[in-house]
Amino acid sequence: MGSHSETQKSGLCTAGLVLGIVGVCTSFIPIISNLSFLMGVLAIIFGLVSIKKASRGKMIVTVILGIVVIVITLGTQKAASDALDAVSDSLDTATGSNTEEVLANYVDVQLGNFEVTEGDYGITQTNMTVKVTNKSNETKSFSIQVEAVDSNGNRISQDYIYANNLTAGQSQDFNIFQYVESDKLEAMKSATFNIVEASMY
């Protein structure tokens, strides 16, 4: 009976050794590494269960392989997770999800005054000059949405700025709100202007 138990435990150690070797080979592969992690855990368990019966060297190698599999798998998964986070951050700055971060670190937007002038033939002209400065150390493009709101916070109008390929530190002036409907003109004169969204790409 004892001999059967010894054979069984030695077999467990061998199985653990095989699992450890296969686990090491597959622990670098994304998705499959989840299975490798399980192989590593089983290799450690099988190695420890056979601690008294299997050869000591074989048992130690099995346990070490199991630990190596777990360490490599966790490292690989962390690297993959970090890469996904970096992609996610890039998408956030490109879709306006990180407007505060873009305004704080990458672009300076200075809103001028909203101006109304009477042009030729009684045509009213409107304009707001906005200065956009690339604060980063790389060439970037920016999309900026500006809104005009009344004293109750209701949106009167909105306009967009597209600053393409601004080099590091470069500033450029843009004119917005040049086409305001006549029925909104009075409200626009006393409006508050806000940056709603800033995207970088």
Q: What is the DSSP letter of 153?
A: S
Q: What is the mean pLDDT of residues 8-26?
A: 79
Confirm if 43 and 19 have CB atoms less than 8 A apart: yes
Please tell me the predicted confidence (pLDDT) of residue 99: 86
pLDDT of the residue at 3: 53
Query: Could you tell me how far CA 98 lies from the centroid of its own chain?
Result: 10
Beta strands in the chain (DSSP E): 107-118, 124-134, 140-149, 155-166, 171-176, 192-200
What mean pLDDT is predicted for residues 184-188? Answer: 92
d(CA 15, CA 49): 12
Where is average pLDDT lowest: 50-59, 88-97, 161-170, 174-183?
88-97
Extents of the domains making up the chain = 2-95, 99-200
pLDDT, tens digit, for every residue of 103-160? Answer: 999 999 999 999 998 877 767 889 999 999 999 999 999 999 999 999 999 999 999 9
* Whole-number pLDDT of residue 143: 92
CATH of domain 99-200: 2.60.40
Two tokens, residue 11: 């077999």
Residue 91 pLDDT more than 80?
Answer: no
